[in-house]
């Protein structure tokens, strides 16, 4: 900061006066100037924005200096240009519209030289802002300097000729020092405010991002104290609303995480996990849990349920590499584990039914074992009578399907004949009374073609080999039933380009709400339907083979009886023919004897009568020979 008595630049006009009156006047003016500078300082300290600060500073400078115009030009360091940022007087017209390169014109020279400059007559001075020459006559300007940086220029001017003195230049410099400090202070404040707002925005974005994560997140210090936890962590740990609050407004996640330290934790195999083996202890020990090293554990949640949780984490270090905390992310993988279990069970079920298909006895073997007959008892059903027409292998498939999907009921029907009529094959999941009623209903109902009663679009999709779901609580499927079914999944059973059956299953939901079938459930049902189609087709082929065998046996029996009849008939015919043949042979022999015994003297008439008789006897004997 410059002193008020510092000598002004050589370009300043005027000369000090040495009279006593002049000295008294100078002291009075100095006191007035000091009060003005103090007021200027107070103004500078009372504002925290340039928009409010600059106009008031300029007004006080104009009053102190007794000028017609005062303006502040701030430096754009990147462009190295001065812009008229605020003004009082004629120059107000060009605020924000005039930019002056550093080193050019009146203000540009002041910024370049960092020295005061006074021009008594602007008419012959090369200015960059034409308004100065057109509207002002004399000007005085000084740089705005803060430390080693030039912030801009402040200049004053009059519309009439004026010789600015060295004292006036010093006074403007002192005012410029205070203005520069005020601008710097405001800029620092604005920068700090901008940084604070940016930090708040970043914090809000960070907070929103963490809250939006589906994984439970916790941040700790180096000693394991919980610094932050998100809402997903509370949900994962099974914390409910507290203090009568609803939804997410319950216990803070950090408190939930602290309470969760006492929870029982096991490894993926179900073995208890020691404290030093837990994820947080390992991460605070410097270990990173990610990818193949992610830790999967079982834990008893705060609500008492057991959940499978996948935990990853990493240590947090400062710039010098010192561990200062840990970040942990936990994901509930219970559903994935259950899906894996269901998939494993489904695979086991498919293997079992495939083995059953390969090893299943045919009708002859079942008959030999004493298992054929429509009302044979099924051992697994505890004496349950097998309904007429039920396929034991299809029932086994339905039972496996129910076990894999956890559904309430499964039924299978066969599609037969050119009219594609559905015939019930098996049902599982009903009580004994319900099952008997189910079979009785279907035996008394007239046969129904496939798709009858479905909406056209559902029928078209089903016959195009698509699995469909039917909401039994809404028309046209809202029909009363005694089984509590509210929604049913229906899968077509196709094999070799033919629809051979129908697989249907349903769930029991609390409150009688329709079950929302998942894509996984539909996929398993579709796979079961394809496998079940093989079961039904095998059953059809076995029945057709049995029918063909029965027909062949009937034909063979008829042929045997025909052969037996022919044999008996031939025997019965050969007995009289043998007697006839013998008599014919005797008659033929005697006739020949009679013809040869007559000699030459025999009567011609008798010989003529015997010759035709001999011919007839020969023919009769030949015919008898052929029959015998």
**In this structure, what token pair is assigned to residue 528?**
């079961």
- Closest of 606, 610, 614 to residue 584, by C-alpha: 614
How would residue 378 be classed by pLDDT, with cut points 50, 70 and 90? very low
205-209, 268-272, 297-301: least confident range: 205-209
How would residue 628 be classed by pLDDT, with cut points 50, 70 and 90? low
Give me the pLDDT at residue 484, please: 80
Give me the pLDDT at residue 9, please: 38
Give me the pLDDT at residue 26, please: 41
Q: Which of 204-213, 224-233, 557-566, 611-620 has the largest mean confidence?
A: 224-233
* Ramachandran assignment for 199, one of left (phi > 0), alpha (psi -120 to 50 degrees), beta (any other): alpha
Answer yes or no: are the C-beta atoms of 140 and 118 closer than 8 Å.
yes
pLDDT in tens, 571-608: 666 666 666 666 667 776 766 666 666 555 555 666 66
Give me the pLDDT at residue 117, please: 94
- Cis, bond preceding 476 (omega within 30 deg of 0): yes
Give me the pLDDT at residue 114, please: 93
Answer yes or no: are the C-beta atoms of 30 and 4 closer than 8 Å.
yes
Give me the pLDDT at residue 599, please: 59
pLDDT reading at 518 higher than 80? yes
Question: How many residues appear in the chain?
Answer: 628
**Mean pLDDT, the chain, as a whole number?**
78
Element (H, E) at 28: helix 20-45
Give me the pLDDT at residue 123, please: 86
pLDDT (average), residues 418-438: 89
Give me the pLDDT at residue 178, please: 83
CA–CA separation, 25 vs 14, rounded Å? 16
In the block, residue with structure tokens 């008959």: 367
pLDDT reading at 156 higher than 70? yes
Give me the pLDDT at residue 445, please: 82
Give me the pLDDT at residue 601, please: 56
Give me the pLDDT at residue 598, please: 57
Give me the pLDDT at residue 464, please: 92
Q: How far apart, in Å, are the Cα atoms of 515 and each of 406, 451, 477?
A: 12, 22, 15
Give me the pLDDT at residue 340, please: 78
Give me the pLDDT at residue 326, please: 92
pLDDT in tens, 540-573: 777 778 888 888 888 887 788 777 767 776 666 6
**Burial of residue 575, with CB atoms counted within 10 A of its CB: 0-12 exposed, 13-18 middle, 19 or more buried:** exposed
CA–CA separation, 150 vs 147, rounded Å? 8
pLDDT (average), residues 440-462: 87
122-126, 299-303, 506-510: least confident range: 506-510
pLDDT reading at 40 higher than 60? no
CA–CA separation, 592 vs 594, rounded Å? 5
Give me the pLDDT at residue 152, please: 93
């Amino acid at each position: 900061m410059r002193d008020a008595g510092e000598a002004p630049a050589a370009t300043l006009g005027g000369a000090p006066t040495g009279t006593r009156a002049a000295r008294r006047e100078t002291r009075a003016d100095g006191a007035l100037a000091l009060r003005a500078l103090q007021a200027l300082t107070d103004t500078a300290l009372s504002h925290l924005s340039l928009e409010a600060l600059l106009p008031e500073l300029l007004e006080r400078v104009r009053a102190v200096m007794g000028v017609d115009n005062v303006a502040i030009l701030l430096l754009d360091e990147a462009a190295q240009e001065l812009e008229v940022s605020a003004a009082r007087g004629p120059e107000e017209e060009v605020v924000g519209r005039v930019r002056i390169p550093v080193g050019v014109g009146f203000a540009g020279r002041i910024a370049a030289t960092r020295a005061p400059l006074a021009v008594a007559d602007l008419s012959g001075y090369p200015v960059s802002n034409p308004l100065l020459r057109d509207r002002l006559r004399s000007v005085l300007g000084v740089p705005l300097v803060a430390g080693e940086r030039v912030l801009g220029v402040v200049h004053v001017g009059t519309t009439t000729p004026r010789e600015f003195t060295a004292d006036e230049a010093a006074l403007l410099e002192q005012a410029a020092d205070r203005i520069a400090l005020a601008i710097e202070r405001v800029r620092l404040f604005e920068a700090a405010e901008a940084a604070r707002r940016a930090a708040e925005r970043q914090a809000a974005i960070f907070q929103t991002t963490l809250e939006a994560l589906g994984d439970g997140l916790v941040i700790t210090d180096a000693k394991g104290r919980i610094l932050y936890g998100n809402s997903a962590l509370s949900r994962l740990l099974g914390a409910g609303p507290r203090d009568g609050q609803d939804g997410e407004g319950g216990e803070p996640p950090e408190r939930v995480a602290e309470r969760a330290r006492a929870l029982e934790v096991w490894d993926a195999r179900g073995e208890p996990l020691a404290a030093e083996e837990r994820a947080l202890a390992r991460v605070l020990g410097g270990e990173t849990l990610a990818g193949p090293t992610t830790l999967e554990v079982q834990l008893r949640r705060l609500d008492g349920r057991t959940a499978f949780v996948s935990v990853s984490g990493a240590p947090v270090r400062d710039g010098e590499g010192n561990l200062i905390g840990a970040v942990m992310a936990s994901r509930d993988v219970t559903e994935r584990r259950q899906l894996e279990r269901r998939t494993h069970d489904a695979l086991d079920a498919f293997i079992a039914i495939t083995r059953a298909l390969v090893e299943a006895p045919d009708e002859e073997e079942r008959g030999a074992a004493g298992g054929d007959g429509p009302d044979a008892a099924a051992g697994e059903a505890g004496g349950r009578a097998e309904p007429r027409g039920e396929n034991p292998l299809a029932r086994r498939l339905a039972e496996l399907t129910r076990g894999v999907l956890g559904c309430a009921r499964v039924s299978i029907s066969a599609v037969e004949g050119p009219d594609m009529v559905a015939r019930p094959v098996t049902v599982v999941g009903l009580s004994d009374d319900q099952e008997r009623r189910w079979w009785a209903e279907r035996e008394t109902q007239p046969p129904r073609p496939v798709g009858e009663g479905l909406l056209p679009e559902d029928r078209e999709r089903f016959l195009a080999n698509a699995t469909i779901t039917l909401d039994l609580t809404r028309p046209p499927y809202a029909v009363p039933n005694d089984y509590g079914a509210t929604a049913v999944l229906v899968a077509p059973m196709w094999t070799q380009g033919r629809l051979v059956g129908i697989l249907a299953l349903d769930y029991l939901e609390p409150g009688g709400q329709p079950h929302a079938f998942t894509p996984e459930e539909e996929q398993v049902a579709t796979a079961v339907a394809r496998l079940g189609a093989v079961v039904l087709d095998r059953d059809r082929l076995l029945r057709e083979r049995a029918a063909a065998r029965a027909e062949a046996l009937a034909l063979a029996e008829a042929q045997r009886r025909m052969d037996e009849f022919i044999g008996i008939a031939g025997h019965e015919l050969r007995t009289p023919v043998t007697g006839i043949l013998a008599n014919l042979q005797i008659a033929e022999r005697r006739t020949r004897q009679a013809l040869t015994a007559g000699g030459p003297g025999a009567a011609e008439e008798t010989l003529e009568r015997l010759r035709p008789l001999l011919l007839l006897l020969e023919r009769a004997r030949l015919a008898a020979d052929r029959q015998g």
